[in-house]
Amino acid sequence: MNNPMNRPRISICAALHLLCASFHSNHAAETQRPNILFIFSDDHAYQAISAYDSRLIQTPNLDRIAREGVRFNRCLVPNSICGPSRATILTGKYSHANGFYNNTNSRFDGAQTTFPKLLQKAGYQTAIVGKWHLVSNPTGFDYWEILPGQGQYYNPPMIRNGERVKHEGYVTDIITDQALDWLKNKRDPSKPFLMMAQHKAPHREWEPNLKYLNHDGDRKYPEPETLFDDYSGRGKAEREQDMTIARTMTPRDLKLTAPAALTPEQRKAWDAYYEPRNEEFRKANLQGKDLIRWKYNRYLHDYLGCIRSVDESVGRLLDYLKETGLDKNTLVVYSSDQGFYLGEHGWFDKRWIFEESLRTPLLVRWPGVTKPGSVNQDLVSNLDFGETFLEAAGVEIPSEMQGRSLAPILKGRTPADWRKSFYYHYYEHPAVHSVARHYGVITERYKLLHFYEPEFDYWELFDLKSDPRELKSVYGAPEYAAAQKELEKELARLRAQLKVSAPDPPETAIRPGRGRAGNKPGR
């Protein structure tokens, strides 16, 4: 079949008809095309959104989107780290097709086709505010104001259309303020808009808004069952990673040292919260599991403190849409660049094909389209976001995009030929956190994966039905022989269809020391 993903296409005629209607300033046609508000965060675990799981935190504003729209339970990312996920969203392509493989030395080729460029061409006004993290400067946006590189939590400098600007305050508030300022004062209200409001939070080092330092009243957080995982039942890659709460967290991660960017006044507020608690910690001289428990609790305090502000930001943006009536014709999406570990398997961070890092939150509200309060279990992906926005805007989806529009699913009608399997591929090794390269296939029930570097070279198979926490590989077990054979066939089919090269292309090589230039003003 020519079209590998069996993607339905909007005919060129239909797309042109829509475009002509809008170019002729047909106001009725304009108002029919929805605005798109894409709210995006960095490293937001679904475990920390109460619409998914209310054990750790209440997120009333994020829950509003779920209550008025669809919550997707299995939104999978093809390569679970920041830059690659962002490149996938913009292009609708896997890392090997858009050229952005890793956070260490990839650089986004801004000349390629992206969904914001196509929306812009179709008459949308396009803007991005917040974290970008793709090294080259944004293309396809009428307005952009981004954090350079990873950005900083307190008093973050930003780059606005190429010019450096200073801000004082907390990054999540500032991104929200700037996004609202564009919506209120800077956009052309005669055009439909795409606003991408992209948070730094809750990325490491998980630094909360100073006003929320005491947000949890020194709560003791419930511990995941696998906090003290010994990685038996799995292999060398799982044992030899470097992302444990026990060994990997730094004094900075644990707030035993303060960030440099604080003003003297902010530093006072920081010290007033952390110093007495740190002093108590130093005196207690904790060891072994008690020490790990303390670190886990400090981590959760800080991480969830960041989520408070993200949720507040979502509330401010939703309120603005409602106050202005824009909510009636705005497609609102909340997602993150991947999932994250909150102590499961003893870990923080992401990268793995395993559920906590593979699954990213996805909440979508599209008035008149989504059924309020619905929950979806289909295998969807951030590969599909661009295609969805294009279909919503009546723009033809380029055949080179590798995902598929979620529009039918948002209407409550999953196509019969929707994907039943999903390909995953992680490349960033050897590098920070020492997670070995791996690829694999995911189905509703199973996961087959291969750690393929010569020093690893082993396979694993997990049965999510009997082992939802992915603790024991059943690869090679006789009772799984038939399932394993099917999955091997499916994996080979996906790799061929997606044109994955073996071995990895040279540009995936990690070249330490080369460094990343990051975004600089004036280029």
Q: Which residues bind Ca ion (CB under 5 A)?
A: 42-43, 82, 337
> Of the candidates 42, 40, 71, 96, which has an alpha carbon nearest to the alpha carbon of residue 424?
96
Minimal distance in Å, beta carbon 42 to Ca ion? 4
Lay out the sheet containing 438-443: strands in order across: 421-426, 438-443, 446-451, 458-463
Rg (CA), the chain: 23
Minimal distance in Å, beta carbon 104 to Ca ion? 14
Q: Which two tokens stand for residue 321?
A: 């849409």
Closer residue to Ca ion in complex, CB, 35/102: 102
The alpha-helical segments, DSSP class H, found in 330-405 are 355-358, 385-392
Q: Provide the sign of the torsion angle of the four alpha carbons 98, 310, 253, 344, taken in this order.
A: negative
Residue carrying structure tokens 């919550």: 71
Residue 296, C-beta contacts closer than 8 angstroms, at least 6 positions apart: 221, 223, 227, 245, 343
Minimal distance in Å, beta carbon 255 to Ca ion? 20
Closer residue to Ca ion in complex, CB, 38/143: 38
Closer residue to Ca ion in complex, CB, 297/360: 360
Q: How far is residue 87 from each of residues 23, 144, 179, 355, 437, measured CA to CA in Å?
A: 30, 16, 21, 21, 19
Closer residue to Ca ion in complex, CB, 42/327: 42
Q: How far apart are CA 225 and CA 345, in angstroms?
A: 8
Minimal distance in Å, beta carbon 385 to Ca ion? 15
Minimal distance in Å, beta carbon 43 to Ca ion? 4
Q: How far is residue 186 from each of residues 120, 182, 413, measured CA to CA in Å?
A: 16, 5, 37
Minimal distance in Å, beta carbon 398 to Ca ion? 26
Closer residue to Ca ion in complex, CB, 43/302: 43
Minimal distance in Å, beta carbon 15 to Ca ion? 33
> Of the candidates 141, 129, 169, which has an alpha carbon nearest to the alpha carbon of residue 40?
129
Long-range contacts formed by 177-186: CB under 8 A, 24+ apart: 178/129, 178/130, 178/145, 179/127, 179/129, 179/130, 179/317, 180/316, 180/317, 180/320, 182/127, 182/129, 182/143, 183/320, 184/320, 186/127, 186/143
Closer residue to Ca ion in complex, CB, 43/68: 43
Minimal distance in Å, beta carbon 89 to Ca ion? 12
> Of the candidates 148, 165, 167, which has an alpha carbon nearest to the alpha carbon of residue 156?
167
Closer residue to Ca ion in complex, CB, 192/339: 339
Minimal distance in Å, beta carbon 133 to Ca ion? 8
Q: Which two tokens stand for residue 237?
A: 């890659």
Closer residue to Ca ion in complex, CB, 84/403: 84
Closer residue to Ca ion in complex, CB, 82/318: 82
Which residue number is nearest to Ca ion in terms of Cβ?
82
Length of the chain: 523
